[in-house]
């Protein structure tokens, strides 16, 4: 073989080997870095751009796609210990001409974390209102979506700032009393009795605990490699002290039933989506909301747990779009009447 041709193959092989070796090294040695790259790539692929907004000395981090148009903008509030990128699985199935905004909740990811901040549910709702005003999202009423803790905040927001929103989607929201204890609530009671409250199931610190949390939150059994579990834990460990403080704040008497206490003030059309096999927050909460909110549309998803956004992203996106289309149709009929 000609020496030049041989050199060309060696160079080409070396060029290909470098990214492959880098990937393998990242997977084995720094799985948390691989997870961050994964989210960065997914945001770019879906056209989501990351921006920052400041309210006095407080900084909000958010991602967005599209611009405000004739259809309502959509603001999405994630759950406890998550971040704005948890919505990417749903964003994938939403039209690109919709104006979407996903914000990091107070103290999470790129949004300011301060020991002096009020992390109660009403305190978080106030912060989200400041964010909305910062980016002038409330120039026209928008559709608000929240899941779990974010659902609790979204419901309280709808009650406290009714002029800002036109409709509401609550996905397995916290903040409701339940006649049936979920597996998670039972676990918490057992931990309290054994005085091991530091071992909160939603705050894993080992790959094994992360696997247990995924089983608790999902009906679908995802096969997650050990290295990825380690990466997920590595990303969370630096924040676990904050998560413990936040958790104790939102289960405190002040916040535990915030959504329930504000249900009567929610006057906008409301959609409730819940996984029937939710082991974190019992699905009976859906009927509590349906009986208290006049214009409430409830959807119970079979073979689905608490992580509705991850387990059933296409279905959830379609339900939100169908709900918005129904409201648009009703508005048009009223105008023509």
Q: What is the CA radius of gyration of the chain?
A: 22
Cα(first)–Cα(last) distance of the chain, in Å? 83
212 is an active site residue: no
Angstrom distance (rounded) from CA 141 to CA 307: 28
- Alpha carbon distances (Å) from 264 to 148, 200, 295: 19, 32, 12
122 is an active site residue: no
100, two tokens: 């979407």
Identify the residue whose tokens are 């009447």.
Answer: 337
Which residues pair with residue 298 across a beta bridge? 272
Catalytic residue among 278, 282, 297, 307: 278
Catalytic residue among 78, 99, 143, 306: 306
77, two tokens: 């509030």
Catalytic residue among 32, 148, 182, 255: 148
CB 311 within 8 A of CB 203: no
Residue in 157, 158, 143, 151 with CA at minimum distance from that of residue 175: 151
148 is an active site residue: yes
Residues designated as active site: 148, 278, 306
């Amino acid at each position: 073989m000609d020496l030049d041709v041989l050199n060309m193959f060696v160079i080409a092989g070396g060029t290909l080997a470098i990214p492959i070796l880098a990937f393998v090294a990242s997977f084995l040695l720094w799985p948390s870095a691989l997870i961050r790259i994964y989210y960065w790539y997914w945001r770019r692929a879906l056209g989501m751009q990351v921006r920052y907004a400041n309210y006095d000395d407080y900084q909000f981090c958010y991602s967005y796609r599209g611009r405000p148009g004739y259809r309502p903008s959509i603001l999405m509030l994630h759950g406890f210990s998550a971040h704005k990128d948890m919505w990417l699985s749903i964003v994938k199935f939403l039209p690109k001409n919709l104006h979407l905004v996903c914000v990091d909740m107070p103290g999470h990811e790129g949004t300011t974390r301060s020991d002096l901040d009020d992390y109660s549910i009403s305190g978080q709702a106030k912060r989200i209102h400041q964010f909305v005003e910062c980016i002038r999202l409330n120039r026209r009423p928008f559709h608000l979506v929240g899941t779990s803790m974010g659902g609790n905040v979204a419901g309280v927001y709808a009650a406290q700032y009714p002029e800002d929103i036109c409709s509401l989607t609550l996905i397995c929201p916290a903040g409701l009393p339940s006649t049936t204890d979920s597996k998670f609530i039972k676990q918490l009671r057992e931990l309290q009795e054994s005085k091991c409250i530091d071992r909160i199931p939603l705050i894993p610190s080992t790959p094994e605990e992360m696997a247990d949390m995924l089983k608790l939150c999902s009906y679908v059994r995802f096969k997650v490699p050990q290295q990825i579990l380690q990466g997920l834990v590595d990303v969370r460990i630096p924040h676990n002290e904050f998560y413990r403080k936040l958790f104790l704040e939102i289960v405190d008497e002040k916040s535990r039933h915030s959504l329930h206490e504000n249900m009567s003030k929610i006057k906008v059309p409301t959609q409730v989506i819940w996984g029937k096999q939710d082991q974190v927050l019992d699905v009976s909460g859906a009927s509590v909301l349906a009986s208290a909110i006049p214009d409430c549309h409830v959807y119970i998803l079979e073979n689905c747990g608490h992580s509705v956004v991850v387990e059933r992203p296409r279905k959830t996106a379609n339900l939100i779009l169908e709900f918005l289309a129904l409201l648009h149709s009703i508005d048009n009929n009223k105008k023509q009447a």
